[in-house]
């Protein structure tokens, strides 16, 4: 049985892949960048549906995929007047179309095994955040996918859940707010726990949903966000 982790070359995805490897799982990383873990790396641009489909079909031909962890994400921030539809489409391909393609490819093996785990990594930004039109909309779409798939796939023994992180100390975060910027301190003051999350905080949540023992939890969203989902957040 094989686990696919997208975006496993860095950040949250790398932390998740390492935990799976430590547990003795076979892990395939789908990423445009190579990683430094022992996961098998497949180079693919997940914003390209055809390239994603080709990679997914080839992996499914060679491996019995029973777990899909779709973590890869891009922000592309912009206030509404500056939002580019090509950015929105790229994020829709990455966050939503790639999820559909990968789970479709894995379904035959899941059906045969009578078991499967799907974990989608969304974002606290689904609750609203300035400059996140394309990001929030497509990450929010993941919640709809998960709730629908949870109902459809439950008879097969497949659970589908969502982890919604933020703000987490990653390259994505610091790509928007540079390290050392005074804005970092303002963000910290807006987080009830007064710290940024770490990738391991999110990896632990992902591993809970991916665990074979978590078979009675499906269609759920777990916010790993320092409490910002129950208050307001200004970045």
Task: List active site positions.
Answer: 135
Q: Which of 6, 19, 15 is nearest to 211 (CA)?
A: 19
User: CB–CB of 139/127 below 8 Å?
Assistant: no
For 160-191, give the DSSP string.
EEEEEE-SB-SHHHHHHS-TT-HHHHHHHHHS
DSSP for residue 63: S
User: CB–CB of 77/176 below 8 Å?
Assistant: yes
Q: Which of 48, 53, 59, 56 is nearest to 26 (CA)?
A: 59
């Amino acid at each position: 049985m094989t686990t696919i982790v997208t975006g496993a070359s860095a950040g949250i995805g790398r932390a998740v892949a390492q935990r799976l490897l430590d547990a003795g799982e076979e892990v395939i990383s789908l990423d445009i960048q190579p990683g430094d873990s022992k996961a098998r790396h497949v180079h693919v641009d997940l914003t390209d549906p055809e390239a994603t489909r080709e990679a997914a079909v080839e992996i499914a031909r060679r491996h019995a995929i029973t777990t899909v962890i779709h973590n890869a994400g891009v922000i592309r921030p912009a206030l509404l007047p500056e939002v580019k539809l090509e950015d929105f489409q790229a994020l829709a391909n990455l966050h939503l179309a790639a999820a559909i393609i990968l789970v479709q490819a894995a379904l035959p093996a899941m059906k045969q095994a009578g078991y499967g785990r799907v974990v989608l990594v969304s974002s606290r930004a689904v609750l609203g955040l300035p400059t996140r039109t394309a990001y929030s909309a497509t990450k929010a779409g993941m919640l709809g996918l998960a709730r629908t798939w949870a109902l459809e796939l439950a008879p097969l023994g497949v659970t589908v859940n969502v982890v919604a992180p933020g703000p987490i100390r990653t390259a994505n975060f610091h790509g928007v707010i540079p390290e050392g910027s005074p804005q970092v301190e303002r963000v910290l003051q807006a987080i009830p726990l007064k710290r940024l999350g770490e990738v391991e905080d999110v990896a632990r949540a992902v591993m809970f949903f991916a665990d074979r023992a978590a078979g009675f939890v499906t269609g759920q969203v777990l916010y790993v966000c320092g409490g910002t989902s129950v208050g307001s957040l200004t970045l």
